[in-house]
Amino acid sequence: MNNPLLLPFETPYQAAPFSKIKPEHFLPAIEESIRLAKEELEELLSQPQTPTFQNTFPPLDTLGELLNRNTSLLFNLNASETTEGIQKAAQLAAPLVTDFQNALRLDSRLFDRIKFVYENTDRSTLNAEEQTLLEKKYKGFTRNGALLTEAGKKRLRSIDSTLAKHSLSFGKHVLADTQAYFLHLTQEEDLKGLPKQVIEAAGIMAQHKGLEGWVFTLDFPSYVPFITYAENRSLRKKMVLAHGKRGFQNNKNNTISLIIEIIKLRKERAELLGYSSHASYAMEERMAESEERVHSFLSLLYDKAAPAANKEWNALEQLAQTQLEGEPIQKWDTAFLTEKLKQKQIDLDEQELKPYFELTQVLKGLFAIVGQLYGLNFSFSKKIEGYHPDVQSYEVTNDKGAFVSLLYMDFFPRSGKRGGAWMTTYLSQNKKRRPHVSVVCNFTPPTKTTPSLLSFQEVTTLFHEFGHALHGMLANTTYASLSGTNVYWDFVELPSQLMENWCFEKAALEGFARHYQTGKTLPENLIVKLKKKAQFQQGLQTLRQLSFALLDLSFHNDKANEIEDVKDHEMKVMAPFQRTPSIPENIICTAFSHIFQGGYAAGYYSYKWAEVLDADAFEYFKEQGILNPKTAKEFASSILSKGGTEHPMKLYKRFRGKEPNIEALLNRSGLINA
């Protein structure tokens, strides 16, 4: 009982007491949590009464809450503040948790009870959420092997346990390769073209490593500015090659064998359950419904984007004649040339924007916008501890003073934190409790002379992840399994991508885009340029997203188990999109964490799918006024609060009054006449 993970958290709102939790606490706590969950299961199954919805499904939804709390803590920390001890605990705990989940889904006694209720319940006696829970739990069991033979169930357990371990290993290897490389420079001439803040940050990084000069890493706040602004082409090449080698080098972090094993096991798992492929299995629980519909959707976007992309690439090639002295464009030139072209066509230098986007001011403005729209208040709290000193904790309340959620904000890269940005949940909402959510980013850190000045891409990233956070914070369902972001995967990006739209609107920008030294608001001419930036190279950007979506699907279709050479396979899939020469030592998929570590397997297309939804939804916001609380509260009541309690198209039509129209996306992207 000295293990804090086996005790109630005696803290405000039952927040995690991070300072008391040690890596060695996790494995014994999870083992005990599993034992207690098994006791709960036996108690549920031993009821003498005839099975009904009320005596079966509510207790099933809360079964293993202690286990859920502890595994959320472990796997979230493994992503945002990992150590060797945390990684070891995650590797050992993952198969235990998977084995328990499989044992639960494959327990014939439990399935018989669920099946009895499913077949003998009058649906008219249930509300919409209860009907969804009934359907979801029943399908969850059948889609996870409840109807298999004992031999089939045994094989499924083995596959799932192995996949859980492989996913963690993939992330561990990519993180290790990312952090192993850095570019050390000692000559000032090598810094030509780089912004002052980037140079200063590189100097601080060198000091941390005990080196003279400057150090650039593969973390996005260092990597992206370097390949975008560095005039030294050979150094850009070094950085791009290092980034593209992650997981593809002759070292212990190579992920090729993991990828082969993952895609074959996913295919075998799908076939075991009666599906032709993992994609087919996944699409059954998506808005898209089928691979065919996704391919049709992607093909439509390709046809609209390709003509624009060709024109955009021609413009880059023309610019390369002077910038590269006639040399052909290589992979390490595209970001550099794109920035030069943007400055030429739009007269917009991204660095000109950064002084207007100081992180504290942007966050204050974001809170104000969300406060006006949704009636939320954010109070910084010192009594709610974070898992790292950089983490900011907030108590979120509504306009009546009622507690809504805890919110953790974690902004800067560091050792032990994976790249990218994401929203996650530490404690999910149900009718008895409010949620604890976290937004994790890797933004440009402050230096000795400047605060954290965000690139515009980082600003949109913050708004994006905050949209996910709103989905979690405003959840108002009875059952945790239907709460917040527990929705169809190709619907989950709607709230996040919708929030990005406010970054381009004058009425919103006026509230937070202020020069960190003078306090002046972002000039009108720069706002106009931001609007133009939103359509800049949308043809190429769209094709880039489509290429990732198709690469993802190719690893999960009915031919996936035939892939033997991952590099050769990727080259064939990407060939129609390839505009620079292929690089033998570079590859995308060996660090494609979205599909081999995260939850986007056969789902990367959902980013573009959700863009159709968000463009259409924002049209309605613009019609009513982008800061109109009435519209926002309609969105909250129809979508954000509902989670997965009903089919997403029903929720969307309830808000919008109609199905989404792709024309809104094409118009916003400037592809309407392409």
Query: With contact defined as beta carbons under 8 Å apart, do 603 and 278 qualify?
Result: no
Place of tokens 């609007």: 531
H or E stretch covering 405 = strand 403-410
- For residues 447 and 567, what is the distance between their CA atoms, to the nearest angstrom? 40
Q: Which among 542, 607, 571, 591 has a CA at the least distance from the CA of 218?
A: 591
**Token pair recorded at residue 498:** 């919708």
- For residues 480 and 656, what is the distance between their CA atoms, to the nearest angstrom? 26
CA distances from 471 to 79, 306, 484, 643 (A): 21, 34, 5, 7
**Token pair recorded at residue 84:** 């060797």
Query: What are residue 565's phi and psi, to 5 degrees?
Result: -110, 105
465 is catalytic: yes
**Total count of residues recorded for the chain:** 674
- Mention every residue, 6+ apart, whose C-beta is less than 8 A from residue 197: 354, 444, 447, 450, 453
**Token pair recorded at residue 610:** 């959700």
**Token pair recorded at residue 349:** 């230098």
Half-sphere exposure of 631 (CA within 13 A, CB side): 15
Place of tokens 């004058």: 506
- For residues 651 and 657, what is the distance between their CA atoms, to the nearest angstrom? 10
**Token pair recorded at residue 245:** 């080698």
- For residues 159 and 567, what is the distance between their CA atoms, to the nearest angstrom? 25
Residue 500 DSSP symbol: H
- For residues 574 and 588, what is the distance between their CA atoms, to the nearest angstrom? 10
Helices (H), 248-392: 256-272, 278-283, 291-323, 334-345, 350-353, 359-374
Q: Which of 130, 312, 339, 465 is catalytic?
A: 465
Residue 482 DSSP symbol: G
* Four-residue CA torsion sign, 543, 545, 548, 549: negative
- For residues 586 and 214, what is the distance between their CA atoms, to the nearest angstrom? 25
Crossing angle (nearest 10°) for helices 65-80 and 23-45: 150
Crossing angle (nearest 10°) for helices 256-272 and 566-574: 80
- For residues 667 and 671, what is the distance between their CA atoms, to the nearest angstrom? 6
- Catalytic residue list: 465
